[in-house]
Structure 1
Amino acid sequence: MILLTGFEPFGGESTNPSWTAARGAAAVLTAEGHEVAAVELPCVFGDAIRVLRAALAEHRPELVVCAGQAGGRSAVSLERIAINCDDARIPDNAGNTPVDEPVVPGAPAAYFSTLPVKAALAALGAAGIPAEVSQTAGTYVCNHVFYGLMHALRDSPGVRGGFVHVPYGLDQIPAGSGLASLPLEQMTEALAVVVRTAQATTADLKLAAGATH
């Protein structure tokens, strides 16, 4: 079983491409014969992890790929690490603005993704989809969910998971704004590629995809 998640709209937006792409990728993978569930998460600290944990308990997946929107980024971002810190620059959809609070009190400072991010990077490049390995998932609800996922999976050997950020969709960008975006079709295929790569990869590739700052 594969679990894909995306978020509801936030920050005044009417859509969130992470949910559209997750739902679309689930349909693509289901048509290929995979057992897939797609779940929309609320953009709310605390509630998002509770919904995710309920989905994990219900579907008992072997692979989990959570997705979120990173407006302003120009590529699909394969997140490497989740940190145990909530620090909200803007309110979530319930008006919460945690500052310098742990996602899980007393838990480790960080968790690494257990997805093969380097292999996925290579596969996305081969598919012509702009992609990067990202060293930060931020400190908003996306990182909150990423950390919550990895904390939940810590006692589930063999279950792999991670987080992928997608840019704005074309329909979210005002004409002439110059903001980076990608077609939803590419984001949908990107999530499907990540899933296929994870299923086919037992040991990640060793290739340079770091950052100097």
Structure 2
Amino acid sequence: MILLTGFEPFGGESTNPSWAAAQRAAELLAAQGREAVAVEVPCVFGRSIEVLDAALAQFEPSIVVCVGQAGGRGSVSLERVAINVDDARIPDNAGNRPIDDPVVVSGPAAYFSTLPVKACREAVAALGIPVEVSQTAGTYVCNHLFYGLMHLLADRPGIRGGFVHVPFSSDQGAAHGQPGLAVEAMGEALAVVATTTAETAVDARVTAGAEH
């Protein structure tokens, strides 16, 4: 079973392409004969991890791909690392605005994704979809959920998981004068991330670093 999650709208937006893309990816995976489900999570510190934890218990997936919106980015971003800090520039959808709080008290400073991010980047790029390995998932609810996911999976051996950021949708990008990507392309990218993970035991040894 492959579990994909996407967020509800936040920050004044009426839609969140991460949720639409997660739903589309689940449809594409099901059409390939793979068991897949998409779950929407709230853009709320704490509660988002609770919803994810419940989904893990309900669906017992072997692969988890959490997805969030990164407005302003131009590529699908495969996140490499989650850090143990909440530092919110804007309030979440429940009005919470933590500053320098840990995601998990006494948790490790960081967790790495267990998705084969470099192999996934190569597979998505082969589709002609802009993609990168990202070295930061921010410090808002996306990183919060990513860290929470990896902390939950630390006690669930055999489940691989990680986080992917998607740009604004094409319509959002046009409205904001920012890069945008069609939701269909996002869904295709996420489906390939999931299938590549299922078929890749050891990540590709290719460069995907950054100078800054």
Task: Give the superposition deviation at 1:155.
Answer: 1.6
Q: Is the 8 A contact 2:76 2:130 kept in 1?
A: yes
**Residue pairs, 1:1-213, within 5 angstroms:** 1-174=1-174, 177-213=176-212
Q: Name the SS of the counterpart of 2:38 in structure 1.
A: strand
Q: Is the 8 A contact 2:84 2:147 kept in 1?
A: yes
Task: Give the superposition deviation at 1:37.
Answer: 1.3
User: 1: distance between equivalents of 2:206 and 2:173?
Assistant: 33
Task: Give the superposition deviation at 1:174.
Answer: 3.8
Q: CA RMSD in A?
A: 0.8
User: 1: distance between equivalents of 2:128 and 2:201?
Assistant: 23
Task: Give the superposition deviation at 1:31.
Answer: 1.2
User: 1: distance between equivalents of 2:51 and 2:21?
Assistant: 19
**Unpaired segments ≥5 residues, structure 2:** none
Q: Which amino acid aligns with 2:199?
A: A
User: 1: distance between equivalents of 2:120 and 2:40?
Assistant: 23
Q: Is the 8 A contact 2:8 2:40 kept in 1?
A: yes
User: 1: distance between equivalents of 2:85 and 2:177?
Assistant: 31
Task: Give the superposition deviation at 1:156.
Answer: 1.4
Q: Name the SS of the counterpart of 1:105 in structure 2.
A: coil
Alignment TM-score, normalising by the size of structure 1: 0.98
User: 2: distance between equivalents of 1:66 and 1:173?
Assistant: 22
Q: Is the 8 A contact 2:118 2:203 kept in 1?
A: yes
Q: Name the SS of the counterpart of 1:87 in structure 2.
A: coil
User: 2: distance between equivalents of 1:146 and 1:75?
Assistant: 19
Q: Count the aligned residue pairs.
A: 212
Q: Name the SS of the counterpart of 1:88 in structure 2.
A: coil
**Unpaired segments ≥5 residues, structure 1:** none
Q: Name the SS of the counterpart of 2:154 in structure 1.
A: helix
Q: Which amino acid aligns with 2:68?
A: G
Q: Is the 8 A contact 2:6 2:18 kept in 1?
A: yes
Q: Which amino acid aligns with 1:26?
A: A
Q: Is the 8 A contact 2:174 2:180 kept in 1?
A: no
Task: Give the superposition deviation at 1:39.
Answer: 0.3
User: 1: distance between equivalents of 2:182 and 2:64?
Assistant: 23
Over residues 48-107 of structure 1, what are the superposed CA-to-partner deviations in whole Å (9 max), with x where a residue is unaligned?
Answer: 000000000111100000000000000000000000000000000000000000000000
User: 2: distance between equivalents of 1:168 and 1:78?
Assistant: 15
Task: Give the superposition deviation at 1:178.
Answer: 3.4
* Identity fraction in percent: 68
